[in-house]
Amino acid sequence: MESQASMAPTPRALPYYVAFSQLLGLTVVAMTGAWLGLYRGGIAWESALQFNVHPLCMVIGLVFLQGDALLVYRVFRNEAKRATKILHGLLHVFAFIIALVGLVAVFDYHRKKGYPDLYSLHSWCGILVFVLYFAQWLVGFSFFLFPGASFSLRTRYRPLHIFFGAAIFLLSVGTALLGLKEALLFKLGTQYSTFEPEGVLANILGLLLASFAVAVVYILTRSDWKRPPQAEEQALSMDFKTLTEGDSPSSQ
Q: Give residue 102's identity as a one-letter amino acid code.
A: G
**What values do phi and psi take at 55, rounded to 5?**
-60, -40
| Euclidean distance between CA atoms 226 and 213, whole angstroms | 18
Task: Write the DSSP assignment of 21-78 as a string of letters.
Answer: HHHHHHHHHHHHHHHHHHHS----SSSGGGGGHHHHHHIIIIIIIHHHHHHHHHH--S
Smallest distance, its own copies to C-beta of residue 50, A: 18
Question: Using CB atoms within 10 A of its CB, is residue 231 exposed (0-12), middle (13-18) or buried (19+)?
Answer: exposed
Residue placing its CB nearer to its own copies in the complex, 147 or 249: 249
| 131 scored as a contact of its own copies (CB under 8 A) | no
Which residues touch 76 (CB under 8 Å, ≥6 apart)? 83, 84, 87
Name which of 207 and 236 has its Cβ closer to its own copies: 207
Q: Does 199 bind its own copies (CB under 8 A)?
A: yes
Size of the site for its own copies (CB under 8 A): 47
Pair 21, 67: CB distance under 8 Å? yes
* Site for its own copies contains 120 (CB under 8 A): yes
Subset of residues 4 to 23 that bind its own copies, contact rule: CB under 8 A: 4
Q: Is 65 in the site for its own copies (CB under 8 A)?
A: no
Options 5, 45, 93, 163; binder of its own copies; rule CB under 8 A: 163
Instruction: State the amino acid at position 169 in one-letter form.
Output: F
Task: Choose between 25 and 179: whose C-beta lies nearer to its own copies.
Answer: 179
Residue of the chain from 171, 172, 229, 230 that contacts its own copies (CB under 8 A): 171
Among 114, 197, 224, 245, binds its own copies (CB under 8 A): 224
Residues that bind its own copies (CB under 8 A): 2-4, 115-116, 119-122, 124-125, 128, 159, 163, 167, 170-171, 174, 177-178, 180-182, 184-186, 192-195, 199, 202-203, 206-207, 210, 214, 217-218, 221-224, 226, 249-250, 252
